[in-house]
Each structure stands twice: as structure tokens, then as C-alpha cells.
Structure 1
Amino acid sequence: MIPLKRRKVVPTGAGNTGSEETSPNKFPQVVLFLLERKMGASRRAFLSQLGRKKGFQVEELFSEGITHVICENNSGDEVIAWLESQVRGRGRATAHLLDVSWFTESMRAGRPVEILDRHQLQQQIREVEVVVFSAPSYACQRRTTLDNHNAILTDALSLLAENAELSGEDGRGVAFRRAAGVLKGLPEPVTAVTQLVGLPCLGGHSLRVVKDILENGASCEVEDTKQSERFKVLKVLTGIFGVGVKTAERWIQEGIRGLQQLQDSGRTLNRAQQAGLQHYEDLNQHVTRSEADAVAAVVEEAVASVLPGARMTLIGGFRRGKLTGHDVDFLITHPEEGREVGLMPKVVSWLESQGFLLYQKTTKNSYLEGEDGPARPSSNMDRFERCFSIFKLTEEVNGEGLKPWRAVRVDLVVSPISQFAFALLGWTGSKLFERELRRWAGHKKAMSLSSHALYDNTQRRYLRASSEEEIFAHLGLEYIPPSERNA
């Protein structure tokens, strides 16, 4: 056996020269030393830097002050022999001898995790039986609750998806989101990449990111993306209501890097962008469920005032059980077909007269059915009568008492009762769940699904439905309730 290299004993703290980016020492009772043997110098350097960023004290040289020795692919006997050579003549070393798995789990948790038998070298089990997960290919076949056991993995993939979308690479964005969707639906945390063998939608790139996080506690690619100046600027500019990626890209090419620069530039902004810039801070804060309920009470009063008997439903993420969201969406209809025509202008007029609207833009219903099936829309947007608005939620209404009022994004959608079930399904989300429903309809059933209708391309006829359950039945799918559509 090749002898382990003897390290010079130095006082605790000598190894951290301050040349690397570190965070304040959050855990003074824990002093780490990573054994280089079999781990390798470059990997040891990366893990040491990661530990310091997370607030751990990591020493370069061994000393008697070390409390945790982190090893990789070393036996307990090898490490004990090395330790005794370091403290010869000065008593026995008392540090915990731990496998690198304890370190990576602590990095993921952001704190020192409990030391279990499986972490200790003396009792390390080399072959651990792990559960291999399975999942259907389409998100619309899976039940995905808000109880996400793999948030650190799905957050990382979602960030890469967002970056791809901001770069105009929608295909890569969808691939990352599908991979994240699979992991969100797993019944327990992933502990090894081998558990994911055979799962759908997990391509090589996504698996590399997952492996990096499981082994190192973080992904280099994700961390680099977070620090990317272009990504940060695009996030700020597209965070303005009414600003898309193409507009943000053009502004960046013109030298705009932030909100103040945009304001000082004298550029002409449309009404939506002006309102978005004016209320930027409010619109980029999460809307709470209590705030959504407060808006619902106002909209319900408006609808009842202008069309008694009309029905209003809270849709979007809040219908799926989320406690916060980016905006609040409502679907409005009337039990009598045709009674909903002309409703939106009256609701908007009522809200404006009561001082609730800071901005609004209304579009008319442009949906038409054809004998040969629905015409392909010019975009992925549906064609209902709709009002995009910024709502003034007053303290008297929201009850938060933080300031007199705040701006909240609110979308109002009016649907004929004959299309209500399709609109309800389409506007409940999640976005990936809806995308996969439509993909399933086209690829598996030769049907065309939208928020307006379901058309059977083989039979050349529309399939009517008065409930979401009927739509799932038409598609040959098991019904999944809104609370389990959080893909």
C-alpha cells in the first residue's frame, strides 16, 4: 500500500488564506478537513471552496482542532492510521471520520446534518440498495402535488430552463422543465443518479446537473448562470410588465442595464410598459392567498352588479392550492349561452368607477369553430374576451396594514358556458401540465385540444364536455384534480 503523505501540524485556521470567496463562519463548533488522498487535488479544492461559501470552516492543513475529517473512497483503517501518524506522541485524534456523503448532504441542507451510521467510515456500507424510481412519460399522466421532495434539483433545472428561454432557446427550456417535472412527482428524495435510470425526459444534460448537485451539493453550471450578468439584466428587464425577451434584448444592445438607466434614457414606452415600470416593485412581489381572496371579493361584487347570475372562478396556481403567485386569474361565465356577451366592458367600467384599476387592456373574443376543425391560432394564446389589468388593492380591502395600497396583476377571462370546462382546464395549469395534455392529445389520440374545444381529427368532429372529468375521459386519461397538476 502506498503510504499516506504526512501533513505538518499547524494551528487551526492557518489553511484559509482569504484568497477564496467565503461566507462568515456560521458553525464555529464544526471544523472540517478534506483528505486529498483518492479525492484528488482539484475536487478537494472545489469542495473546500463550496464549504466556505456555505459558511463552514474548512482547513487546508490538519490540526488537533479538526472536528470532522471528510474522506472519499478511503477505508476507516487507512484514515485512522494516517491520523495517528499526525498526532503521534500527543494522544489520540478525536475527529469524526466521515464519508463525503455527509459533506454533500450538509451542503444541500446549508448546515451540518446529523451524523448517521452510514456516514461513518468504520461502518460504511459500500453497496447500498437504493430505490429505482419509475414514472409515466407525460406529465398529464402523473400526480404532482405541491409537496416537492427534490426542490434543490428542480429549482436548479428550472433556473436553467428560464435561462434557455431568455436566450431564445425554447426547445432546451422545455427539456429542462420536463426533467424538473419528472423529479417533482417522485415520492421521496433522490439520493443517487442510479435511481433515475430509465426515467423519461431526463436527458444527459439534466442528469449531469443532478449528479453534480448530489455529489457536490451544488452545480457549477447553475451557480455560473446565477452570476451571469446577462441573465441578471434580462431577469430585471423582463420583470417589467409588458416587456418580452426581444424588447429586453434590444434594450441591452442599446446599453440599458437596469431600471434607472431605462427611466433616464427617454425611450418611448407603451402604456403597459409605463405601468409596469411605475409599479415594478409591487408587481415583482408574490401575491398571497389572502390578497387573492380580497381581489376575488371585489371582482365578484363587480360581476354580480352588472350581470346577476354570472359565475366567477379563481383559476391559475391558486386553484391548484398554491399559497402565493405572480398574479390572480379569474374565469367568468353565465349558465345561459350568450348572456356573457358584452359582460367584460361592464365589469371593467364598474372597477374603474370604484378606483380599482391602475391599468387595463381588453381584447375581444375572436374564437370561431370551423367544419374542418378549429383554425390554428396565430399564437399559443387562447382567443377569449379578456382583460389584462393592474389592480389597486387598498389597505381597507387587503387588511395587511403595510401601506395604503399595492399593485397586483389581475387577469379576467370571459368564456361561453359551452367552452367553460375547456377554459377552466386550460387556465388552471400548470403550464407544463397543459403543454403535456395537448401533446398527449395530438400524439396519442389524434386530437386537437385548446382552452376552447377538443376536436377529434380522425372522426372529424368536436367532442363536447361540460366538466373537466369528461375531457380527461375523452382523452383516455385518469382524472387528475387541480391540486395534483403542479408539474
Structure 2
Amino acid sequence: MDALPVVHSSPRKKRSRLMGASVAYPPYDIKFHNLVLFILEKKMGSSRRAFLMELARRKGFRVEDELSDSITHIVAENNTGSEVLEWLQVQDIKISSQLELLDVSWLVECMRAGNPVVITGKHQLVSYTVKSDASFGSNPGSQNTPPLAIKKISQYACQRRTSLNNCNHIFTDALDILAENHEFRENEVSCVAFMRAASVLKSLPFTIISMKDTKGIPCLGDKAKCVIEEIIEDGESSEVKAILNDERYQSFKLFTSVFGVGLKTSEKWFRMGFRTLNKIMSDKTLKLTRMQKAGFLYYEDLVSCVAKAEADAVSVLVQEAVWAFLPDAMVTMTGGFRRGKKLGHDVDFLITSPGATEEEEQQLLPKVINFWERKGLLLYHDLVESTFEKLKLPSRKVDALDHFQKCFLILKLHLQHVNGVGNSKTGQQEGKNWKAIRVDLVMCPYERRAFALLGWTGSRQFERDLRRFATHERKMMLDNHALYDKTKRIFLKAESEEEIFAHLGLDYIDPWERNA
């Protein structure tokens, strides 16, 4: 039998399971030239990948068969961001510095819309930047910094930008109530845990719609996640609902709404059986402080919100009074209004003067008080003298009050001076043309202005995390007076908030992005 002829053929090239085979597709017009897609076959399968590629091309998208440095969007299914990153790191390909890693749900939404849809957090597998000269797989065994610098959501509010555009009110409102309830019960650990959970959700640029969206988000403990899951499934939290109906919570909420009433007094009144403010005011055996008496006297005004227009009108009064005695003084509205809020419960001002002597600084607030008293605008004041010591180290307590001279006031604001609210319902209902407004004035030495401004701008959680970050990450101590480097054993000077952030190695965050 004749031997069969030997056929010499070239080695058969294996089809890449990762990159996918190059297949000839009919030509389609590309409508969206700024997008170059690559669909990852891993965990998806070749048939589904081919179907999605064909569909996307029909819709006018540019879809590449293989990964290249022109890719702008990688679409994956059933992969975590970490898994895609690991896969990318073994590919010997230079990629775009603006590469997006997306879940297949984004592509599906694009197909339905017939055009690219806005990418939100629910679509992103991970947010990151890539060094422009990075090449994946060029040195797999290297122990150097990986080419991907992943921007994870930080546990610190001072590393997150939090505007007033809260996409997750339904969750954060519930978590805030839980935090407040634990604060009323003086359970600091649980209070802080829920505050941190609410804070991180307020920073998210997307709305949580499933528990999958919470993956990788820090500060969400098991209890917070249970609340979120219950709200997703039932539309409300049974625990929050129970708290809102709890007599103790309701009483503490009511009592602490009075100016001058804190947790100790609220606890005392609750134990004495009080449940309404009328009962407290009618009880002649109770001894109220001056502040509490003022709080009850002007309660209706003080419990109502202060509008931005009212805060601006108060600012004019403060500037007029301060500049009458220190013409070069700097008067800055701080607190929530500096963070861009339109409503608040009081108005805070930081006052400092570059040319004032220590004696002039000490005498300014008493002069301002007398100025308003003569004009009939002062309804209440409590002047707290400075206990500031220049050589003293910053406080180790994250919630420590500063030691600057300050004054807690209630001012009479005539409504005709308020733009847009001259015919206020408050004035009509009470038959008066003025409103009682809570005002805080803080006088600080000029060289401490940056620290005081940062501290008095808030928010509360932002400040807590800023000090916590300084302590745990930078071995520094920060408060409203100074920044101390414990390693170098020196005070770090700063003339602006930007310099304080720079000392701490933080990106500067504008006031309107500190609403943590």
C-alpha cells in the first residue's frame, strides 16, 4: 500500500479566548467617533460577545475586535472592577489615559436609546486614571507602583467632594435619623458610624438602586446596609419608622429645638415627665437659664429656617457694626451659607483684622454689642472671652470647641431690609415686621484666620474627618487654631485654607463641596 503523502502545514494559530477572534463584519456607518468600544469576552462567552458587537455596530458605535491603545471604553459582564484590572495588567498594550471600565448594562441602555447614554456610578466598574506612558504587562513581576492608580472612594470626607446635590436622600435621611437617635442616647460609637455612612452616600454622584451598587463603598457597616436594603425592598426602614414614633426621640427632638437646651436638660425634663413645651413654660418650679428663657421667648422665629436673603441682611448689620470700630476688619460669613446652602438655623461670622492690636481685638465684640443695644437690635447676647494660648498644642479631640473670643446672639432683623421677603408670612402672622435671628460672632487673631475659617465652615463630619485624617494619616494635629507636625515638632504656618490642605497632602476642596 502506497504511503500517504506527508502534508507540511504551518502550525495552527490558537484563537485567543481573551481578545476574541477577528471576524469580518459588514461595514456600518460610525456615528459616534469619540467612542471606541471593546467588549470583554471573559465570563460573557463568544456568542453573546459577537451578538453585542454586531448590534452596537448597527447602532453606529465603533467596536474593535482586539484591545488596542485607541480603546476608550471596555464593556464587561459579570466581572468586578478588580477582575478587569487584573486582566488588563497582563496585556502588553498601551491604553488611553481616559479609559472607562463599564458594566454591560451601560451598553444595553445605549442600544435602547440608539445613542450613548450618560455614564453614572451604577455603570462604572471602577474609577481610575492611567499614567499616559503606562504599558500593561511590560514587567509583570515588577514590585514597582502598578500602572493603574485606582481612585477608590475614601473613608475620609475630606478626600471626597460632597455638593448639595444629594442623589440618595431616601437613604441619608434615614441614616441621619438613626445617628440623631443614638446621639440623644449618648451612644457615640453608633452615632458616628451612622453619620459616616450617611456622609459617604451624600458624596456619591449616582443613586443607589440595588445592593450591588454599595459594593466597594467604605463606611457602610452591616447595620447601615440592612437599612439600605430594607428601603430598597420596602421603600422605608422599619427601625426608622419605630424611632419616629418613639416618645423619647420625639421629646428630645422637641426639647433640643429650643435655643440653650442640650442633651442633659432634655434627659432631665423627659425623666420629670414633660412631653410638651407648653408644660415646661407653665411650670414655675423649673429654673431656666438666660439662654433658655430667650430660646422660649423667641421660639417660633428661631425654630423656623433662616433664608439666604435674611442671612445676607444680617451680614450687612454685622459689617456696619464691625467697621464702625475696625474699618480694616475682614467679616466672613461661614457655616452652611458659605457651603452654598439656601437655608440654615443661624448665621455664623468670622471676624479678623490684619492691623488690630490684641487690645482692639478684645474690645471689638463688646463694642459691637453696645452698638446694637443702642439701636434696639439686640434681643440676647452671651459673650465668651478668649482662652486662646498661642503656644498651646492643637486639641486631640475631633469635636473640640476653639478658644477664640465669641458671642452668641439673637438679633432683631427688620423684614423691610430683607430682599424678596418684605411681606414675610412670619411678620403677617405675628403682627410684627421683624424676625429674631440667631447669630454667632467669632473674633480671631489674623495669623489664625485660615484655621478658624476652615473650622467654622464645616460641615461637622467634614471637620471630624479632616482632623482624623491629620492625626492618623499625617501624624499631625489640627484644630481651629493651628496645625502641628508631631514628627518635626513644629507648627505649620498657613495664610489660606489652600495652604492647610497642601500641608496635609490633600487636594483642595472648595467650601460648596464640603457638605458631608
Calculate the TM-score normalised by the size of structure 2: 0.68
User: Is 1:367 aligned to residue 381 of structure 2?
Assistant: no
Which residue in the other structure is 1:282 paired with? 301
What do the CA deviations read for 1:118-176 (whole angstroms, capped 9, x no partner)? xxxxxxxxxxx854575111100000011110011111100111111011112211110
TM-fit CA distance, 1:379: 7.3
What do the CA deviations read for 1:199-247 (whole angstroms, capped 9, x no partner)? 1110000000000001111111111111111111111111111110111
Which residue in the other structure is 1:394 paired with? 414
Query: In the alignment, residue 345 of structure 2 is paired with which amino acid?
Result: H
User: Is 1:343 aligned to residue 364 of structure 2?
Assistant: yes
Aligned mates of 1:414, 1:231 — CA distance in 2: 36
TM-fit CA distance, 1:268: 1.1
Counterparts of residues 293-442 of structure 1 (less than 5 Å): 293-336=312-355, 338=357, 339-370=360-391, 373-374=393-394, 380-398=400-418, 399-402=421-424, 403=427, 404-442=433-471
User: Is 1:148 aligned to residue 169 of structure 2?
Assistant: no
Query: In the alignment, residue 368 of structure 1 is paired with which amino acid?
Result: E
CA contact (8 A) 1:309 1:334 kept: yes
Aligned mates of 1:209, 1:132 — CA distance in 2: 24
Counterparts of residues 132-171 of structure 1 (less than 5 Å): 134-171=152-189
Aligned mates of 1:433, 1:379 — CA distance in 2: 11
Which residue in the other structure is 1:246 paired with? 264
Query: In the alignment, residue 384 of structure 1 is paired with which amino acid?
Result: F
The residue matched to 2:279 in structure 1 has which SS?
helix
Query: In the alignment, residue 330 of structure 1 is paired with which amino acid?
Result: F
The residue matched to 1:342 in structure 2 has which SS?
helix
Query: In the alignment, residue 225 of structure 1 is paired with which amino acid?
Result: I
Which residue in the other structure is 1:30 paired with? none
What do the CA deviations read for 1:330-380 (whole angstroms, capped 9, x no partner)? 000101253423211111111111111111000111111337x34668971
CA contact (8 A) 2:394 2:481 kept: no
Percent sequence identity is 48
Aligned mates of 1:327, 1:209 — CA distance in 2: 31
What do the CA deviations read for 1:381-409 (whole angstroms, capped 9, x no partner)? 11111000111111232243221111111
Calculate the TM-score normalised by the size of structure 1: 0.71
1:447 pairs with 462, 476, 495, which one? 476
Query: In the alignment, residue 485 of structure 2 is paired with which amino acid?
Result: D
What do the CA deviations read for 1:27-74 (whole angstroms, capped 9, x no partner)? xxxxxxxxxxxxxxxxxxxxxxxxxxxxxxxxxxxxxxxxxxxxxxxx
Structure label with greater radius of gyration: 2
The residue matched to 2:481 in structure 1 has which SS?
coil
Which residue in the other structure is 2:211 paired with? 193
Counterparts of residues 170-209 of structure 1 (less than 5 Å): 170-209=188-227
Aligned mates of 1:298, 1:412 — CA distance in 2: 12
Which residue in the other structure is 2:147 paired with? none
CA RMSD of aligned residues (A): 1.7
User: Is 1:477 aligned to residue 468 of structure 2?
Assistant: no
The residue matched to 2:324 in structure 1 has which SS?
helix
User: Is 1:461 aligned to residue 461 of structure 2?
Assistant: no
Aligned mates of 2:224, 2:422 — CA distance in 1: 41
The residue matched to 2:361 in structure 1 has which SS?
coil
Aligned mates of 2:223, 2:461 — CA distance in 1: 19
User: Is 1:229 aligned to residue 229 of structure 2?
Assistant: no
User: Is 1:263 aligned to residue 281 of structure 2?
Assistant: yes
Query: In the alignment, residue 359 of structure 1 is paired with which amino acid?
Result: Y
Aligned mates of 2:398, 2:200 — CA distance in 1: 30
Aligned mates of 2:241, 2:322 — CA distance in 1: 47
Distance 1:254 1:454, change over 3 A: same
Which residue in the other structure is 1:90 paired with? none
TM-fit CA distance, 1:314: 0.6
Aligned mates of 1:337, 1:200 — CA distance in 2: 46
CA contact (8 A) 2:303 2:345 kept: yes
The count of residues paired between Structure 1 and Structure 2 equals 359
The residue matched to 1:432 in structure 2 has which SS?
helix
TM-fit CA distance, 1:284: 0.9
Query: In the alignment, residue 296 of structure 1 is paired with which amino acid?
Result: S
Aligned mates of 1:132, 1:407 — CA distance in 2: 51
CA contact (8 A) 2:448 2:481 kept: yes
The residue matched to 1:294 in structure 2 has which SS?
helix
The unaligned stretches of length 5 or more in structure 2 are 1-108, 110-121, 127-151, 428-432
